[in-house]
Chains A and B, each alone.
Chain A
Amino acid sequence: MPDQLADDAPLTTARDRRAVDDATAALVEDKGDTLVGRAVTINRRADELFAYFRDFANLPSFMDSVERIEVLDSRRSHWVVKAPGGRTVEWTSVITEEAPGSFIAWASEEGADVPNSGRVDFRPAGDRGTVVTATILYDPPAGMIGRLVAKLFQREPAIQARRDLRRFKQLMETGEIATAARTRKQPEEEKA
């Protein structure tokens, strides 16, 4: 962590890139130079949210860009994620640290298409439920260009993380994920 914190805002909102670089090493295992962070308040208990999230097989239900996740053992899972241009990227993720009901931290193994690391924190927020904060550090595929292209296709991780967390909230609070579609075939047509 830097010697002096200028304020109490999360690092993910810092204007100065160097502050991020200085601090991320302490935050999560360093697997890239792009930091994404999002907080969302979900009207459920922290242990319930943790339990659903910790079963990685559940994650594709609300993570739109994740094609599939194979749970390899209690700590390792293999991720297949949609990338721009109809391609997919893959990596194996290892849980580096966790505290049930409180947080999960992970890092990708060697050989990842997109090296990444991060943590998800579940912090009780009284009668508002739980504040869930996702902090992700990653190395974009082809640097800035890759991120620009990804943004064009709305797969930019910052946008994706924000939308995924909203879907997680919807699923946990309402039992379903909101759609404005009128017919079953409509969303498929829009994705095509």
Chain B
Amino acid sequence: MRALAWHGKHDVRVDTVDDPEILNPRDAIIKVTATAICGSDLHLYDGFIPTMQKGDILGHEFMGEVVETGPGSTLKKGQRVVVPFTIACGNCYHCGKHQYSACDNGLPADNQDIAQELYGQPMSGLFGYSHMTGGYAGGQAEYVRVPFSDVGPIVIPDGVEDEKVLFLSDILPTGWMAAENAQIEPGDIVAVWGCGPVGLFAVQSAFLMGADRVIAIDHFPHRLELARKFGAETINFEESKTYEALMEMTGGIGPDACIDAVGLEAHGFFVDNVWDQIKASTFLGTDRAHSIRQAIIACRKGGRVSMPAVYGGFIDKFPLGAFMEKGLTLKTGQTHVQHYMPALLEAILDGEIDTTFLISHRMALEDAPRGYKMFHDRQNEVTKVVLKPDLAAAA
């Protein structure tokens, strides 16, 4: 089959590799019909994530048709499914509590050592996201082996287009969980750092959960425009001073809830950010983290901070004093996708949530390397690239 493989920093290629096979009873093989490039794929593209190996197949947002099933799978050939990016067993204590991204059994036993050393306990497996998260081949490919197919994939009714449901795989549940973690109360003012897909879905979700006002922060005009369409007020941090603007826009109180949807590749020319960048490039520290610091400083006393943004390692100058003195609450985590999928699918089918506005580019799988470059270089207008293995490659 053809698949998008990582070869190094800013070097991804579509290679011909062996087709996947059923290896465990609960496996299914999915023929991919649509797959997206995620903002977090850019962390891999930029070489920020350790334990990548040449030839690793990327992609963790995908859906397709069931073409083969193991004896323990509950799926049927021909069914269309969206696959969660977290690989979780459904049987362990954490899955029992619907903390799917904390699944004990999603990672192969030997791969659990790295995460155990780094985080204290290993997490669930992830598709196409380095060997620390299992080394599973991802979905930017023609076919994918999906473990625990009786627990993860959600069946999509006939007649519903791929593009309407594809984002159930990651970014829609992630944006929703970000808003849920912000414990939004009616009348709240919510600030969202980052108007990428997760930030935009968090804006949508915050309003659905009863937020009175949402303030969206970014520096890409097109992305701020999308946030404005959902009713958000905006701050362009290249035009205005974010902390000062937030304080003035909230009558000197600060937002009740702050959502950091930026993460470890925060843009912008700030002193602490540049310092982080120097350290990141000299392997002194891996995470550049201006947005989370600013969220903590801006948040109102006794407020809530939610961090869907991806961080992998350590940061310096975490404003622990502000966090403590103001009595903030911080909630975060990889998304428990399996927990959110059924209700969000319902919301999509009922027309309450529409995510198709996000898709700016559709391409053949063969053109994926160009898609990565575009998404990386032109983040203002490239909001989401969807790859379709069926499409013919552009000339």
A residues apposed to B, CB below 8 Å: 41, 43, 128-129, 154, 159, 162-164, 166-167, 169-170, 173-186
Contact = CB atoms under 8 A, between A and B. Distances in A.
Enumerate the 6 nearest inter-chain pairs by beta-carbon distance, A residue then B residue, closest first.
A166-B109, A176-B24, A180-B135, A173-B91, A163-B109, A174-B89
- The B interface is mostly helix, strand or loop, or mixed, namely loop
B147 A178 contact: yes
Contacts of A182: 17-18, 20-21, 57, 137, 145
15 contacts: A159-B113, A164-B109, A170-B109, A173-B91, A173-B104, A174-B89, A174-B92, A174-B105, A174-B148, A177-B108, A178-B109, A180-B137, A182-B17, A182-B57, A183-B20
Interface in B285-321: none
Contact of A178 (B18, B106, B137): B106
Contacts of B145: 182
B32 to A, nearest CB: 14
Nearest to B57: A182
A180 B125 contact: yes
Contacts of A169: 92, 104-105
Interface in B95-144: 96, 104-113, 125, 134-137
Contacts of A164: 109
A40 B297 CA distance: 40
B13 interface: no
B11 to A, nearest CB: 21
A178 B91 contact: no
Contacts of B136: 180
Contacts of B374: none
A41 B94 CA distance: 11
Given A43-B96, A183-B18, A174 B26 contact: yes
B23 interface: yes
B91 A43 contact: yes
A167 to B, nearest CB: 5
Given A178-B147, A180-B135, A180-B136, A170 B105 contact: yes
B25 interface: yes
Interface residues of B, number: 35
Given A43-B93, A173-B89, 10 more contacts: A154-B110, A163-B110, A169-B104, A178-B106, A178-B125, A179-B24, A181-B23, A182-B20, A183-B19, A186-B18
Nearest to A165: B109
Contacts of A173: 89, 91-92, 104-105
Interface in B23-38: 23-26
Contacts of A185: 18
A91 B255 CA distance: 67
Contacts of B25: 175-176
Contacts of A162: 113
Contact of A43 (B21, B92, B108, B111): B92
B109 A174 contact: no
B93 A129 contact: yes
Interface string B54-76: 00010000000000000010000
Nearest to A174: B89
B92 A176 contact: no
Contacts of A178: 24, 89, 105-109, 125, 134, 147
Nearest to A163: B109
Interface centre among A163, A175, A177, A182 (most CB of B within 10 A): A182
A137 B57 CA distance: 42
Contacts of A154: 110
A166 B24 CA distance: 17
Nearest to B145: A182
Nearest to A162: B113
Contacts of A43: 91-93, 96
Contacts of A177: 24, 108-109
A182 B22 CA distance: 8
A185 B89 CA distance: 24
A174 B151 CA distance: 11
Contacts of B107: 178
Contact of B23 (A167, A170, A179): A179
A181 B113 CA distance: 17
B3 to A, nearest CB: 9
Nearest to B135: A180
A179 B108 contact: yes
A166 B20 CA distance: 25
A164 B112 CA distance: 12
Contacts of A184: 21, 23
Interface string B147-163: 11000000000000000
Contacts of B113: 159, 162-163
**Residue among B17, B24, B147, B148 with max Cβ neighbours from chain A (10 Å):** B24
B26 A176 contact: yes
Contacts of B93: 41, 43, 128-129
A189 B19 CA distance: 16
A163 B110 CA distance: 6
A32 B57 CA distance: 46
A99 B138 CA distance: 46
A176 B17 CA distance: 26
B83 to A, nearest CB: 15
